[in-house]
A = this chain, B = another copy of it.
């Protein structure tokens, strides 16, 4: 393969595009791999499409190696199957919905659990037909609230989604492990560093799920790791609660006047000044019980005001709370929400007036408690009156929550739930997600088969996704420097970038000859044959485009040599022109 830059449909940009906030986005645009068509929606130019095809081919090969069979579903789907699983509603505004000329309702599919379930139901009826795993590489749609970072969070994107169907849980475990292994091979072959973390299942439902994240500071996802090997995305981290405390000798709670203490800091200062601890230790924010008013927004748009109680030294993490209340989302309460809850005295909220269990009212504001608020812990908290707090309020004795919830931020140094040591936090891009769905979809859509005893049993499923376009962006993110992209050879748009510099016809003839020779040997060549373009521009373009090996035919030719240099790392070497093709071929092998 020989691509000539004189005719290749590409134009590089010298300036950074204004709206491109991360390197992969900026460089893919600047190098002419993609162009923006609309927010979160991109067009692919020839070089970008070549990389995409290579990423897809690796994903496809490894899927086929697991025995998964490729199919292809439409993107435009009728409402009914998604109604049956309630996802038509649960997806909320993330779903692109439309009606056809007969007013039938359709959606642009964000994922295809329903369709795969119905297809297997259509074709299969016996345990003898199972197990089966099917996959597709297909265009998906999500109407993201905040599309960002180019291909990393888009609204039209390519996914590989696979689905396994088994007659029993043991079978699902095998299928899940097979896919998990395939994912490791895929990311290894792509040259993408990855961590596997425990994850929540979100709107997908199901029991076990893990994410594949590629670590990068620009990642949208935060994950944790412990020295002992625990890893999870931050939404899935389970708090290790302290042991409960005997409250037999605890003092009776007492209300104190605490004027102008609507912040934790002012409350702690006043408490230390006016109500010091009996043991002389200073009060800290961790001794206060902060009650945060939030709104849960349900997929149908309705809102519920709730209160989350947590130690005063921690913030609520809205994504952790959101994961806990999915498919609802959580956001800070707004003025309208507060207007509907006049019993909540801002800055002085305490358990007395909230929680169904505390108030005995089935219509009271729901009260979620952080798992750290174990029985017997003593707290300073609001007394539901301006300027007053209550001290020595004992959990379990004086108040309870309606439900425990994982809503507090995770902090570096927090203990791993499995006792494997303190957690460290890092950021990453989610490039894969695997789920043990179990029977949720099969039940909703009636996918049953006859088992070995002739009994109809519900099939158990797994679903396995890779963000193909996102993985490409993650590759660009992980493989660049300040000058441009630097692709790993297996996904690069070409193996070798031949640059002819100067105006000398002999240079262009020699470069052409090398490019052709390499190409006939099966090496993919991008040849910068542009006349009247300066060497500086050509070198800058080679650095921007990121082909892994650069061959320069120029001034050295008079002495019978050309220059070969890796795009990144390694050293440049002078090679006699008559050995150029052999040496380049050798170096390509070594990439």
A99 to B12, CA, bound (A): 33
Chain B residue numbers with a CB within 8 Å of A42 are 74
- The 8 Å CB contact of A76, one of B101, B141, B145, is B141
Contact B37 A78 (CB under 8 A): yes
Apart from A7-B67, A9-B123, A46-B69, list 18 A-B contacts with CB within 8 A: A9-B132, A35-B122, A37-B77, A37-B115, A38-B77, A38-B106, A41-B77, A42-B74, A43-B72, A43-B115, A44-B71, A44-B72, A45-B71, A52-B72, A74-B156, A96-B106, A98-B98, A101-B145
- CB contacts (< 8 Å) of A134 on chain B: these are 9
A11 within 8 A of B: yes
Q: Given A38-B76, A38-B78, A139-B139, do A71 and B132 touch, yes or no (CB 8 Å)?
A: no
Least CB distance from A147 to B in Å reads 10
Q: CA A97 – CA B69 in complex, angstroms?
A: 33
Q: Pick the residue among B11, B32, B71 that contacts A46 (CB under 8 A).
A: B71
CB pair B108 A76 closer than 8 Å: yes
| Bound: A106/B71 CA distance, A | 28
* Bound: A106/B40 CA distance, A: 13
Q: Contacts A9-B132, A9-B134, A38-B106: A71 and B49 contacting too (C-beta < 8 A)?
A: yes
Using a CB–CB cutoff of 8 Å, the interface residues on chain A facing chain B are 7-11, 32, 35, 37-38, 41-46, 49, 52, 67, 69-78, 93-94, 96-98, 100-101, 106, 108, 115, 119, 122-124, 132, 134, 139, 141, 143, 145, 155-156
Complex CA gap A72/B45 in Å reads: 7
**Closest Cβ–Cβ distance, residue A216 to chain B (whole Å):** 25
Scoring A69, A97, A156 by chain B CB atoms within 10 A of each residue's CB, the highest score goes to A69
Pick from A123, A124, A145 the residue with the most CB of B within 10 Å.
A123
Whether A139 lies near B96 (C-beta < 8 A) is: no
Residues of B within 8 A of A38 (CB): 74, 76-78, 106
The verdict on A75 contacting B78 (CB below 8 Å), with A69-B46, A145-B101 known, is: no
Question: How far in angstroms is the closest Cβ of chain B from A166?
Answer: 14
Nearest chain B CB to A581 CB, angstrom units: 24
User: A96 vs B108: C-alpha distance in the bound complex, in angstroms?
Assistant: 11
Q: Which residue of chain B lies nearest to A123 when distances are taken between CB atoms in the complex?
A: B11
Please state if B98 and A96 are interface contacts (CB–CB under 8 Å): yes
Q: How many Å lie between the Cα of A286 and that of B74 in the bound state?
A: 51
Min CB distance A235 to B, Å, is 23
Which B residues are in CB contact (< 8 Å) with A52?
72
Is B72's CB under 8 angstroms from A75's CB? no
A145 contacts across to B, CB distance below 8 A: 101
Query: What's the minimum C-beta distance from A425 to chain B, rounded to whole angstroms?
Result: 31
15 A-B residue pairs with Cβ-Cβ distance under 8 Å, sorted by A, are A8-B69, A11-B123, A32-B123, A35-B122, A37-B73, A37-B77, A43-B73, A45-B71, A46-B70, A46-B71, A52-B72, A75-B75, A75-B156, A97-B98, A108-B108
Q: Which residue of B lies closest to A78 (CB)?
A: B38
Rounded to whole angstroms, the CA-CA distance of A17 and B82 in the bound complex is 25
In the complex, what's the smallest C-beta–C-beta distance from A402 to chain B, in angstroms?
A: 32
A43 touches B74 (CB 8 A): yes
Give the 8 A-B residue pairs with the shortest CB-CB distance, closest first.
A98-B98, A44-B72, A93-B101, A11-B123, A38-B78, A41-B74, A9-B69, A46-B69
**Once the chains are docked, how many angstroms separate the CA of A239 from the CA of B44?**
46
Enumerate chain B residues within 8 angstroms of A106, measured Cβ to Cβ. Answer: 38, 96
Closest to A106 in B: B38
* A10 / chain B contacts, CB cutoff of 8 Å: 123
Say whether A49 contacts B70, CB under 8 Å.
Answer: yes
Measured between beta carbons, the chain B residues less than 8 angstroms from A41 are 74, 76-77
Q: Which residues of B are found within 8 Å of A77, using beta-carbon distances?
A: 37-38, 41
**Complex partner residue of A74 from B32, B37, B73, CB under 8 angstroms:** B37
Closest CB-CB distance, A541 to chain B, in whole Å?
Answer: 14
Nearest B residue (CB) for A11: B123
Cα distance A156–B138 in the bound complex, in angstroms: 13
Query: Which residues of B have CB within 8 Å of A70?
Result: 46, 49
Q: A93-B101, A96-B100, A156-B76 are in contact. Are A119 and B35 (CB under 8 A)?
A: yes
> Which residues of chain B are near A72, meaning CB under 8 Å?
43-44, 49, 52
Chain B residues with CB under 8 A of A37: 73-74, 77-78, 115
Task: Return chain B residues, CB-CB under 8 Å to A119.
Answer: 35, 43, 45
Query: In the docked arrangement, what's the CA distance between A484 and B529, Å?
Result: 53
Chain B, residue nearest A53 (CB): B70
A226 and B106 alpha carbons, distance in the complex (Å): 46
Query: With a CB–CB cut-off of 8 A, which chain B residues contact A96?
Result: 76, 98, 100, 106
In the bound complex, residues from chain B placing their C-beta under 8 Å from that of A32 are 123
Quote the shortest CB–CB distance from A517 to chain B (angstroms). Answer: 21
- CB-nearest residue of chain B relative to A138? B139
Per the bound structure, the CA–CA distance linking A32 and B10 in Å amounts to 42
Tell me the bound Cα distance from A38 to B41 in angstroms: 26
**Considering the chains assembled together, what is the distance between the CA atoms of A156 and B69 in angstroms?**
22
Q: Chain B nearest CB: distance from A483 CB in Å?
A: 22
The residues of B that contact A73 with a CB separation of less than 8 Å are 37, 43-44
User: Are the C-beta atoms of B69 and A43 separated by less than 8 Å?
Assistant: no
Give the CA-CA distance A475 to B230 in the complex, in Å: 56
